[in-house]
Amino acid sequence: MTGPRGSSEHDVVLRLLDHQIVGPSGMLLGNVDDLELVGDEGGWFVTGLMVGPAALSQRLPGLLGHWVYAVWHRLHPAEDPAPVVIPIDHVTAIGSAVHVDLAAAQALSNTFGVEIWLRRHVISRLPGAIGDADDPRSETADRARRVGSRPESLPLPARAPLDGARGVSTVVGRTVVAPDGTRAGRVSEVRCLGARSNGRQERLRARWILYTPHLTGAKLGYSVDREQGPALVRRIVRTWQRHDRIVDAELVEGLNELEGDLTVRPEARPRHPHDS
Amino acid sequence: MKKVFSIALGILTAIGGFVDIGDLVTNGLVGARFGLSLVWVVVVGIVGICVFAEMSGRVAAVSGRATFDLVRERLGPRVGLLNLVASMAVTLLTFTAEIGGVALALQLATSVNPYLWIPIVGAAVWIVLWRVKFSVLENAFGLVGLALIVFAVALWQLGPDWADLWRQVSRPFVPHDESHTTYFYYAVALFGAAMTPYEVFFFSSGGVEERWTDKDLGTMRANVFIGFPLGGVLSVAIAGVAAVVYLPEGVDVDSLGQIGMPVGQALGVIGIALVLLGFFAATFGAACETGLSVGYSIAQYLGWQWGKYVTPLKAARFHSVVLLSSVVAVGVLLTTVDPIMLTEYSVVFSAVALPLTYFPILVVANDRTYMGRNVNGRLANALGTAYLVVVMVAALAAIPLMIVTRAGQ
């Protein structure tokens, strides 16, 4: 299952979503709260990391999600704030953390409104916060001032979501219906292909859709690595996930809609993720 | 030579740092009521904390990810949030109990009312978390906490009937004036005290603070496999002293003073002085660990910059959380709630929260894309799986037992 031109597979829900974002010098820059998904004639592509409360709120349950979104919207200095997206070509490595380049790191740290506010109004006023050699106060104050009068646009290369883009979380959890009309499960994973060229991560093409009758435990990783231990947990999770299926994304209808069921085309041959 | 020194320091710190207010109170109380018949639970708990602390430390060293990173990553934002709320409630409760414990230790030393000490202790803990270097914070209190070895010396000096003590340990029985439900309620409490979730939050985050790599795995394992069990010996000594002095008299232990008293009986004033020093260092050190753990966990769930390895201005949200939780803990204590009671509840609720923490660690320690050749071996997996079952049984039993026994009455 390798794609053209040495592109590699990425199970984006397992390997990208909810992972720590790390800058070049090791600074921690938030989690991957969602992934930007864009569709065109060639299919669906993961084009960016969505970071921050706006993206996270879409994935929290009911009222809590609404509240987080409302609080973020109210506190944001911009008139019509947009969720923050870091384009995927600023991703330098994908491991246990997602590493981004310096430009993206600087842009991201300028979008953390609460951090900047607390730094300016609380932490820097405490005795002992000043005089730290590698953190001149002037720079902090300067940055904070800039944010206070923040222009509508995000600091480059961060940007607002593209037109027609959505979070990958709008696909995960959608009901999948088999060709005969029976409910087959819910989307648990989007397996993508993407190459790196000149040290830059190209956008990831959604190649396969995985679905499962039970979403609980879908992110544990047992559907990807059939040997992952410990044996007892593996056996239980495998039994739990025995009706999981993987299917070619092109043979799934309904992805263009934002909501509603996805239908597997009759010519598709869904199989278990372990039967490659 | 430097390496040997650093390993020895780590082990000593682990011994002294192992005991916190939960271990002090639960072991003293259980010793007085059940003798040494629950020592098997302490042993089970210590093996358990060794298994999972080693796993979480190894994951932190190899992948650079601390425990709550893994929780969110593998359980998703919803279940992860549930986990965060439960774990933080328990850790904050423990933090509050530790600050209360420091105040009680200071009251014993000075006879000054603990409510005068509580705000001072809260402020002192916060100042340490705010200004003191991580390695100093970790080592200083652990080393001074070694003063608790007087419990082992006192047990020796009291000259107990060793054969009888050994009989209590090796053939556990429920004392005739206690019911089976209270016996198992305290078993769960002791288990929760030994395996408190904050220990792995702190241990794994501390590994990241000290920038462990896979070269440090040996040192980390020495700390865990030598330091923690020897720390557990201190726990057993506390229970043993209480068993020798209070069990025959049928005295119920419900204060920190009672737990330390027998040492004075055995060793005189110097014993009392060392006990008080040990109480102070153990609870103050644990207050620092739990206070940091609250900040670590929330920051890791949300991806914020955390830790004392960066300047405070770079981790403003993390330090704000730590500051806020210190204020909350002091506020709770000033409502005149009894810190000993808080401690008893915190260890039982710890038992409830255990599976949430330990399951993701076990799964990720098996993920070969992160761990490479450092994935769990057969032994770690066998023990990890067995403990997962034990931990789930304890978690399910904790609340029903608490209700049935009316919290051990």
Tens digit of each residue's pLDDT (9 = 90 or more) over A179-222? 998 999 999 999 999 998 887 889 999 999 999 998 888 889 88
Q: What is the CATH number of domain A4-148?
A: 2.30.30.240
Tens digit of each residue's pLDDT (9 = 90 or more) over B152-170? 999 999 989 999 999 999 9
Displacement of CA B295 from its chain's centroid (Å):
17
| Whole-number percent of chain B with pLDDT over 90 | 82
The more confidently predicted of residues A62 and B397 is B397
The span from the CA of B337 to the CA of B346, in Å, is 13
Local structure of A20: helix, strand or coil: strand
Q: Chain A within 8 Å of B303 (Cβ-Cβ)?
A: yes
Nearest to B290 by CA among B87, B118, B105: B87
pLDDT band at residue A144 under the 50/70/90 scheme: very low
Q: What is the CATH number of domain B2-404?
A: 1.10.4160.10
Counting every residue written for chain A, the total comes to: 276
pLDDT band at residue B323 under the 50/70/90 scheme: very high
Which whole number is the average pLDDT over A235-253?
Answer: 91
Q: Chain B within 8 Å of A31 (Cβ-Cβ)?
A: yes
Q: Determine how many CB atoms are found less than 10 A away from the CB of residue A235.
A: 11
Q: Which residues of A touch B311 (CB under 8 A)?
A: 132, 134-135
Q: Find all residues with CB under 8 Å of B31, minimum gap 6, and list them.
A: B238, B239, B240, B241, B242, B243, B246, B247, B253
pLDDT band at residue A225 under the 50/70/90 scheme: confident
Tens digit of each residue's pLDDT (9 = 90 or more) over B364-395? 999 998 898 999 999 999 999 999 999 999 99
Residue A231 has pLDDT above 60, yes or no: yes
CB-CB contact of B150 with B263 (8 Å): yes
The span from the CA of B281 to the CA of B121, in Å, is 12
Q: Which helix (H) or strand (E) holds A50?
A: strand A43-51
Task: Give pLDDT, residue B52.
Answer: 96
* Token pair for B311: 């300047």
Which ranges in chain A are annotated with CATH 2.30.30.240? 4-148
Q: In what order do the strands lie in the sheet with A28-31?
A: A28-31, A20-22, A98-100, A91-94
Q: Chain A within 8 Å of B167 (Cβ-Cβ)?
A: no
Nearest to A169 by CA among A256, A253, A57: A57
Burial level of B122, CB count in 10 A (0-12/13-18/19+)? Answer: buried
pLDDT band at residue A138 under the 50/70/90 scheme: very low
Which whole number is the average pLDDT over B104-131?
Answer: 96
What residue spans define the domains of chain B? 2-404
Displacement of CA B246 from its chain's centroid (Å):
24
Burial level of A259, CB count in 10 A (0-12/13-18/19+)? Answer: exposed
Its ipTM equals: 0.90
pLDDT band at residue A4 under the 50/70/90 scheme: low
Angle at B60 between CA A228 and CA A172, to 5 degrees: 55
* Token pair for A158: 């961060």
* Token pair for B321: 């959380």
The more confidently predicted of residues A150 and A39 is A39
pLDDT band at residue B1 under the 50/70/90 scheme: confident
Q: Chain A within 8 Å of B382 (Cβ-Cβ)?
A: yes
Please tell me which of the candidates B72, B368, B385 has its beta carbon nearest to residue A18: B72
Residue with structure tokens 């639970």?
Answer: B41
Which whole number is the average pLDDT over B180-194?
Answer: 94
Which whole number is the average pLDDT over B247-275?
Answer: 93
pLDDT band at residue B200 under the 50/70/90 scheme: very high
Task: Give pLDDT, residue A136.
Answer: 41
Residue B322 has pLDDT above 60, yes or no: yes
Nearest to B10 by CA among B190, B198, B218: B218
Task: Give pLDDT, residue A133.
Answer: 37
Residue A104 is given by DSSP the state H
pLDDT band at residue A141 under the 50/70/90 scheme: very low
Q: Which of residues 61-80 of B touch A (CB under 8 A)?
A: 63-65, 69, 72-80
Q: Which residues of B touch A137 (CB under 8 A)?
A: 313
Residue of A nearest to B60 (CA): A96
Please state, rounded to an integer, the average pLDDT across all residues of chain B: 93
Which whole number is the average pLDDT over A58-69?
Answer: 93
Residue A276 has pLDDT above 80, yes or no: no
Q: Chain B within 8 Å of A175 (Cβ-Cβ)?
A: no
